[in-house]
Amino acid sequence: MPDAPLPKLAVWKFSSCDGCQLSLLNCEDELLSIVGAVHIAYFPEATRAVVEGPYDISLVEGSVTTPEDAERIHEIRAESKLVVTIGACATAGGIQALRNWGDIEQYRSIVYAHPEYLSTLATSTAIGDHINVDFELRGCPIDKYQLIEVLASHLQGRRPRIPTYSVCVECKRKGNICVPVANGTPCLGPVTQAGCGALCPSFARGCYGCFGPQDSPNAPALSDQLIELGMTNDDVIRVYRTFNAEADAFRAESNRLQALPGPSKQGAAK
């Protein structure tokens, strides 16, 4: 047994579906090793026990959508040596960032009979828009092996080895047939960061961008291809405006398409 105390791990939730923190519990083969290497100090989805900060590692899931959460994230930063955001909500605002293109008052009244009961912000924003983040782990949901790599790299005192190239690289390595070239299936693989193992193309469907933009995407060029494959302008706007709609490259491209002349049902560009 090591003499030094185990690093304290905290898992925090903001606006999200719980799927990314579930990825930690989904490490069935590794979970008992993980709890042997870190001290799970705060993880309400899994335990009632609460150990006070400061924490060595904070994993943050979810986006900021309420005034209270916009303050809480600063408290978490102050208590944490390392802040790692996990998933599309925490790194890009998530699917709930679609409100950023809508009218929040109208949204409240569509879903709730008494909008006055709600406390909510007009926008859903990434954790990195509020505090300094030490590492952003992408994906909707994250890949559990990438999460283990991030935790292991920190314990070993090195940078995590998380590729930032495109899904196309993973597809080629896997020996997949290129779905847009062979089948004419629209695919966001060329502009999307790897990490999923080229999952969708392996199932004969086009990538839908759930890991967000790769490090050097050329989205306008891909949009031309998608339109050539039969998608309408509105279809292309919608594929960029899903789980990573507020990631820079995807937001810029959907707004560019929105500003093009012609009819559109997708509301106004921001």
- Given the rule CB under 8 A, which residues bind other proteins? 13-23, 25-26, 28-29, 31-32, 35, 40, 43-50, 65-66, 69, 94-96, 98-99, 102, 106-108, 110-114, 117-118, 120, 124, 140-141, 196, 199-200, 202-205, 208, 210, 235, 238, 242-243, 265-267
CB of 226 to other proteins, least distance (A): 14
Nearer to other proteins, 48 or 158 (CB): 48
User: What is the distance between the alpha carbons of residues 132 and 55, in angstroms, rounded to a whole number?
Assistant: 16
CB of 205 to other proteins, least distance (A): 4
* Closest alpha carbon to 16 in 69, 77, 71: 69
Nearer to other proteins, 56 or 69 (CB): 69
CB of 218 to other proteins, least distance (A): 24
CB of 23 to other proteins, least distance (A): 7
Maximum pairwise Cα distance, the chain? 68
Residue 246, number of CB atoms within 10 A of its CB: 27
Q: Coil, strand, or helix at residue 165?
A: coil
Quick check: 10 and 53 in contact, CB under 8 A? yes
Length of the chain: 270
Query: How many Cα atoms are found within 13 Å in the side-chain-facing hemisphere of 113?
Result: 0
Quick check: 212 and 247 in contact, CB under 8 A? yes
CB of 173 to other proteins, least distance (A): 17
Place of tokens 């490490």: 27
Quick check: 193 and 171 in contact, CB under 8 A? no
Nearer to other proteins, 36 or 159 (CB): 36
User: What is the distance between the alpha carbons of residues 238 and 56, in angstroms, rounded to a whole number?
Assistant: 39
Q: Which helix (H) or strand (E) holds 9?
A: strand 8-13
CB of 90 to other proteins, least distance (A): 13
Nearer to other proteins, 95 or 133 (CB): 95
* Closest alpha carbon to 19 in 89, 72, 100, 69: 89
CB of 180 to other proteins, least distance (A): 15
